[in-house]
A and B are shown apart, each in its own frame.
Chain A
């Protein structure tokens, strides 16, 4: 396995993480094939860092996020989370440790219209993790919820506490979801497209809120998005996924100024730029993303790659290697300049 290292001591270390979905299986029937949603990925996230996970729909980014919070069980691989001095293996956690794990790791979902229970007030929603974890007295919980609502910009807190989701706008609902995710003071938050359902004008204030809370609480994010411009605004490093594999991972500015994988290059050239005078380079790849159902043992990108050679068509999917300092790429054709 390639050693994909983040600077300093990692908070999260993912190794060989894999999720296969069986296809055509039934109670008495073995699956015909497997969809390789996430296929042996490795990465690390440092404490206080935010890592962006970008890619097209179906590339496995949400599946990765769901495994990291154990809403989905990995088929293989380990997810190590630093908890005090120990490393907790999230992938192997049993029921007993789940409660402890949930205090450390939380998730913010994409759609604030669906992620909040319409029958519960803002207070119920935000206080629920505290109740489940039996933190503090009722009075202490109230104070904690009020403080969180203040912090996420739902102030004054007592005017929002006893409202229901239908009384809130999309931006306000997402603020409630953020308050709920942070109420237990977690060290790691997985945010799955938290701003993609919001209007542009609301989007920046939610992103700024998440950035300032990261500083205040010392939280690390795995920020899942399809929007590279958003990833650039939010993240220190970016990992690009394609059909279940991470194909490139490096610091945000390095990725944007010096993309090395042909897929990253294509993705970057396809992003529209809010300037009519700017002429984007042509997007060299054709077609849409396929599905990785029992993929052949060659580079996942070979069919769409404008640079593919016979070597790529006959050799296994390339490993993620450090091609220049802290710049990891999975491509046979990228020369290494790292020592």
Chain B
């Protein structure tokens, strides 16, 4: 699945290949992740975008091996520096979690325990993961550095979460994610609950830290404008499938999957001409019983008979841009398209 262009460059530090994960429920299997592949190179930022229930947070949880108990992997591999996380035991996984791959959780409001000081909660994570363990004063010094890095006053480490504003809590969550110096950070909706001005500050902070430390960041968001700003490459997910992936600029300027195309056409913007936006009709499918063929076909304006029975593969259409659609060539340029 990995194309030759990617292999000829430096090898990815994270390589997800044909991942399949189902949730087992009383009503049957929910096919949450179905044959999803993507990779992340050192220093790169990759965005996963899609609507609620499309599987993007399931992917994040699978990468940390923190998936729900009823989740089962049916196939594929998650290679972190060449080693498959799915084959690791719990203790081996624990040595990678937070040290190599950490996470900025969604909803900073709820990510903290209200009865412990913020610094103590970060120290707890470091005590569990940093080997050899740091002394008390060493960890305080480290937390102070982390706070400065994310734009917080080091004195704040002795405060409780309720004394932090929303933006400050999110900064502290980022400090915690950085505490063990990981190679990869997963940022799951890092700014969703925040106001735009604070969002701007947090995103610039993340970009700066990424540049300074040479980390890779996997951004997960439903907000395509945020993905446009912070990522180099991206993937669009729909109903558990990766439907389009490639350089962010190519997907935004030349989306070829009808879903990506409609998502972009239905996003209002404060720039450009004021225009009528094309709505996306219908609702996402129930993943207990996904539609046959292409999962998007019931809502697709470009649907043909083939789409109803045969599932389209994610195929390269040039320059690392891949699309899972039989009729991608009928998708018009974004500037004309279905816009009225």
Contact = CB atoms under 8 A, between A and B. Distances in A.
Nearest to B251: A276
A272 B252 CA distance: 14
Given A253-B274, A288-B167, A201 B263 contact: yes
B225 A274 contact: yes
A115 interface: no
Nearest to A278: B271
A286 B271 CA distance: 23
Given A171-B283, A229-B268, A288-B197, A276 B277 contact: no
B229 A276 contact: yes
Given A270-B199, A274-B228, A277-B249, A256 B52 contact: no
A167 B196 CA distance: 34
Interface stretch (A21-29, A116-124, A186-194, A202-210): A202-210
Contacts of B266: 200-201, 203-204
B49 to A, nearest CB: 9
A148 to B, nearest CB: 20
Interface string B46-61: 0000011000000000
B252 A274 contact: yes
Nearest to B204: A283
A308 interface: no
Nearest to A199: B51
Contacts of A269: 200
Contacts of B223: 200, 272
Contacts of A227: 268
A288 B228 contact: no
Contacts of A273: 225, 228-229, 269-271
B220 interface: no
Given A200-B224, A276-B249, A230 B280 contact: no
B interface residue count range (under 10 / 10 to 19 / 20 to 34 / 35 or more): 35 or more
B13 interface: no
A233 to B, nearest CB: 4
Interface residues of A, number: 41
B192 to A, nearest CB: 10
Interface in A261-307: 266-278, 280, 283, 285-286, 288-289
A200 B225 CA distance: 11
A229 B270 contact: yes
B198 interface: yes
Interface in B275-311: 277-281, 283
B222 interface: yes
Nearest to B267: A274
A210 to B, nearest CB: 12
B198 A204 contact: no
Nearest to B232: A276
A325 B178 CA distance: 51
A169 interface: yes
A204 B279 contact: yes
A57 interface: yes
Contact of A233 (B197, B249, B277): B277
Contacts of B195: 56-57, 226, 288-289
Interface string A111-154: 00000000000000000000000000000000000000000000
A264 B226 CA distance: 20
Contacts of B199: 270, 272
Interface in B210-225: 222-225
Given A208-B279, A276-B248, A283 B271 contact: no
A325 B285 CA distance: 50
Contact of A276 (B52, B252, B278): B252
B229 to A, nearest CB: 5
Nearest to B272: A275
A232 interface: yes
Contacts of B268: 204, 227, 229-230, 232-233
Given A271-B270, A288-B167, A201 B280 contact: yes
Nearest to B165: A288
Contacts of B274: 232-233, 252-253
B264 interface: yes
A228 interface: yes
A56 B165 contact: no
B262 interface: yes
A193 to B, nearest CB: 13
Interface of B: 51-52, 165-168, 195-201, 203, 222-226, 228-229, 248-249, 252-253, 262-264, 266-271, 274, 277-281, 283
Interface of A: 56-57, 169, 171, 199-205, 208, 226-230, 232-233, 252-253, 256, 266-278, 280, 283, 285-286, 288-289
Closest 8 CB pairs between A and B?
A201-B280, A272-B225, A229-B268, A56-B195, A199-B51, A205-B279, A270-B200, A270-B196
22 contacts: A201-B51, A201-B263, A202-B283, A205-B279, A227-B268, A228-B196, A229-B267, A232-B268, A266-B197, A272-B200, A272-B203, A272-B228, A274-B264, A276-B229, A276-B248, A276-B252, A277-B253, A278-B228, A280-B229, A283-B197, A286-B201, A288-B165
Given A275-B253, A280-B229, 5 more contacts: A203-B266, A227-B268, A230-B268, A267-B197, A283-B197
